[in-house]
Amino acid sequence: MDQDFLIQEHKQIESQKAARQFLNQKQRKPLWREYLETAVIAVVAALLLRLFVVSAYRVNSGSMADSLLEGDYIFVNKLAYEYGGKTPQLGDIIVFKYPNNPDKDFIKRVVALPGQTVQIADKVMYVDGQVAPVPEGTKFTDQKVLPGDLSFRDNFGPFTIPSGEYFVLGDNRDDSRDSRFWGTVPSANILGKAVFVYWSWQPDKDVPGWGFPYVIDAIQWIGYGLYNFPSHTRWDRIGTAL
């Protein structure tokens, strides 16, 4: 009797194990499907980050040298001024839509805030009558001082900044088109605050062209990139905080 009971209990246990294995096999997804779902989640997460949190930009001019160099690739925090009443502060490097052509994105440094009065006299900048600090990385490349009736580059103002707008300059003060020439930046045009350089590539005039039918150009690009990657990457700039 005891032996029959043990045999019956053993059969019951084996039956339960078989049922569990069957359910596990039935519920287990194919490996390709798991990879596909993971890839889809990663792509969606990246798109959401790109749309709402951070954007990547390439610096296409030397107007912000030496803080930013042509060929720098930067991350921009799109939420920096979105919540908690946060607004751009003096010294922030911002990306914004160019007021005269919103299809173009510019990058400059905030040097004066709404309500402040700006004046530049012989290259020296004054804010509310006080000499403004010169941000690290700012440079002057032309010793000549241009009179105000010839150019606003070295002599400008005084000018009081309207409410909700910002006065921006390039750190390369003698080679930058900025608020001295085309006016202030409305807060509605600001896209975000530059955070850091995530990659930097030394510009090269010998870079291959790109045109139809693209196949040959694509091969040339791949070869060019593989060959020049170590020497043209500015390794010392990667991770530079802004």
Q: How far apart are CA 178 and CA 51, in angstroms?
A: 27
Q: State the catalytic residue, choosing from 15, 17, 55, 63.
A: 63
Q: Are 191 and 82 in contact (CB under 8 A)?
A: no
The answer to whether residue 108 is catalytic is yes
**Residue from 49, 69, 47 nearest 59 by CA:** 69
**Residue from 165, 206, 205, 211 nearest 189 by CA:** 165
Q: State the catalytic residue, choosing from 108, 179, 193, 200.
A: 108
Q: What Rg, from alpha-carbon coordinates, does the chain have?
A: 29
**Could you tell me if residue 5 is left (phi over 0), alpha (psi between -120 and 50 degrees) or otherwise beta?**
alpha
Which residues lie closer than 8 Å to 161 by C-beta, 6 or more apart?
112, 113, 114, 115, 116, 117, 118, 167, 184
What is the set of active-site residues?
Answer: 63, 108
